[in-house]
């Protein structure tokens, strides 16, 4: 996945990050997970793997976008994700899934 594909898929990624080398590394290294990642519904009460991948890989970028994380800390977290994926490709995806992850996202009462 390229940065352009990543940003098209997740437009919440702030523009000031688009030229960061670590974002390109994340896009390439985590391509298969990013392709299935999906933002959880506001009504979600239990998260599926796609939700968990989103929260782990894109969630920190959202926190930064809201001004709740310093740029340097975000870049270090993204680099850590890339390093972890590269050091253990087969175990990385599993490491992002907490115990109790459900097969299909569960939404609360009254949500579609």
Q: Which residue has the tokens 């985590």?
A: 30
**pTM value > 0.75:** yes
CB neighbour class for 41 (10 Å; exposed up to 12, middle 13-18, buried from 19): middle
**Is residue 79 assigned to a domain?**
yes
Question: Does 112 have pLDDT greater than 80?
Answer: no
Question: Does 34 have pLDDT greater than 90?
Answer: yes
- Residue 6 in tokens: 């990543």
Average pLDDT over the chain, rounded to an integer = 95
CB half-sphere exposure, 43, CA atoms < 13 A: 7
**Is residue 112 assigned to a domain?**
no
**Is residue 12 assigned to a domain?**
yes
Report pLDDT for 111.
83
- Domain region containing 103: 3-107
CB half-sphere exposure, 46, CA atoms < 13 A: 9
Q: Tens digits of per-residue pLDDT, 38-74?
A: 999 989 989 999 999 999 999 999 999 999 999 999 9
- Residue 29 in tokens: 């290294």
**Is residue 24 assigned to a domain?**
yes
**Is residue 7 assigned to a domain?**
yes
| Contact (Cβ atoms closer than 8 angstroms) between residue 50 and residue 38 | yes
**Is residue 20 assigned to a domain?**
yes
Q: How many domains does the chain have?
A: 1
**Is residue 81 assigned to a domain?**
yes
**Is residue 27 assigned to a domain?**
yes
């Amino acid at each position: 996945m390229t940065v352009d594909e990543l940003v098209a898929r997740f437009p919440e990624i702030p523009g000031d990050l688009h030229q960061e080398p670590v974002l390109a590394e994340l896009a390439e290294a985590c391509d298969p997970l990013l392709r299935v990642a999906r933002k959880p519904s506001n009504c979600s009460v239990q998260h599926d793997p796609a939700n968990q991948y989103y929260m782990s890989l894109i969630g920190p970028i959202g926190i930064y976008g809201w001004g709740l994380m310093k740029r340097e800390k975000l870049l270090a977290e993204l680099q850590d994700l890339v390093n972890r994926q590269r050091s253990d490709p087969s175990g990385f995806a599993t490491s992002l899934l907490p115990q109790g992850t459900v097969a299909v996202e569960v939404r609360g009462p009254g949500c579609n």
